[in-house]
Amino acid sequence: MFLFRKKRTEEKSFSLSALTWRRFKRDKVGIVSLVFLCLVFLVAILGYLITPDKTPFCNEQHLEIALQPPGFSVAFLHSPKEPPQKSVSLLKKMLYGQPPLYKSVPVLDNTLIGEDEVSAERVKKTFLLGSDRYGRDVLSQLMLGTRISLAVGFIAVIIALFIGVFVGATAGYFGGKVDAALTWLINVVWSIPTLLLVLAISFALGKGFWQIFIAIGLTMWVDIARVVRGQTLAIKQQDFVEAGRALGFSNVRIIFKHILPNIFGTLIVLSAANFSSAILMEAGLSFLGMGVQPPIPSWGMMMKENYAYIVLGKAYLALVPGIAIMLLVLAFMLIGSALRNAMEVRR
């Protein structure tokens, strides 16, 4: 009998997931957003394997071709470096890039070619989105910047979920003085402006790659905790929770096996919204100089370096990363909205 009930429960859970997916597929905007996010994730994973500039951090600089318009093409002379550089493995190249194997010199009208460069190999390169003030490929910087945005969102959401679910479930389940103390903590953190709190934590932890992830994650758990607390207060009054207590189940088992699975859909929607908030926050901090530091490419850093060119005829240098941020945030918001509609069983 126990095995039979367990099998029926698994079938019911599978049917609910299939029903949610069928409802989600009806939302054309959600499907388009999902496809876009899959492409962005693919670009972030492949990284240097598909970027035009495969050097670490896409930081190959040629001041001779700085601030060139999109579609600019130029021939490069490739001569071997001294001492010779070795090719790295495919995995290391995908993760960290390939140090330059050749000395590259752009061939312009006023370029003086040395005797050792006469027999050098000529390679033509096209800058689809132009070059920045350092002569770097804007497209490569933009593509590699997806890693920073997605990594910030992912790590910040994981930290926020861990803290928010723990605090919210503990406060809602136990109630009493525990609920009062944790609710007071939630309200205190909630009353502090998010950006100011992130700046304060960033000052305490210092500037850096991982510090900004932790700082954003430590400020996003409050809304998750409030929602989880409210959902737990409602669910713990249900009969199946009372039955678990009567059977002698521990509080930890009741919370993790019976209460949290019932708010899983809500957590997914919250995670999608927090993902977009983390991306915006990282871009804002990088624009202020408190986020990811050079030479690591970041969309917020690209906007900071190029915002002055908006009035100098090179507005695309700042608009391109801004549009990328807008599209990625919009995709996550639309995914969250589509998931909320698909999981709304009352409709």
pTM assigned to the model: 0.84
In which residue are the tokens 């503990």 written? 170
- State whether 218 and 305 are in the same domain: yes
- State whether 103 and 227 are in the same domain: no
**What is the helix (H) or strand (E) element at residue 76, kind and residue range?**
strand 72-80
Does residue 10 sit within a domain? yes
How many domains are there within the chain? 2
- State whether 116 and 251 are in the same domain: no
- State whether 166 and 233 are in the same domain: yes
- State whether 95 and 237 are in the same domain: no
- State whether 162 and 257 are in the same domain: yes
Pick from 298, 339, 278, 289: nearest CA to 148:
298
Domain boundary among 92, 111, 133: 133
Q: What is the DSSP letter of 284?
A: H
Question: What average pLDDT values come out for the chain (347 residues) when binned by 10 residues?
Answer: 37 50 76 91 92 90 89 86 81 89 78 57 87 91 91 89 91 88 89 80 75 83 90 86 83 86 83 87 84 84 88 87 92 84 62
Task: Give the domain extent around 108.
Answer: 68-133
- State whether 234 and 85 are in the same domain: no
**What pLDDT is attached to residue 344?**
64
> Phi then psi for 71, rounded to 5 degrees?
85, 5
Does residue 58 sit within a domain? no
- Phi/psi class of residue 122: alpha, beta or left (left: φ > 0; alpha: ψ in -120 to 50)? beta
- Integer CA distances (angstroms), 68 to 100, 142, 146, 204, 338, in order: 22, 16, 23, 40, 41
**What pLDDT is attached to residue 19?**
63
Burial classification of residue 209, based on how many CB atoms lie within 10 Å of its CB (0-12 exposed, 13-18 middle, 19 or more buried): middle
Burial classification of residue 148, based on how many CB atoms lie within 10 Å of its CB (0-12 exposed, 13-18 middle, 19 or more buried): buried
Pick from 77, 212, 55, 208: nearest CA to 134:
55
Rounded to whole angstroms, the Cα distance separating 6 from 336 reads 31
Does residue 60 sit within a domain? no
Reported residue count of the chain is: 347
- State whether 202 and 98 are in the same domain: no
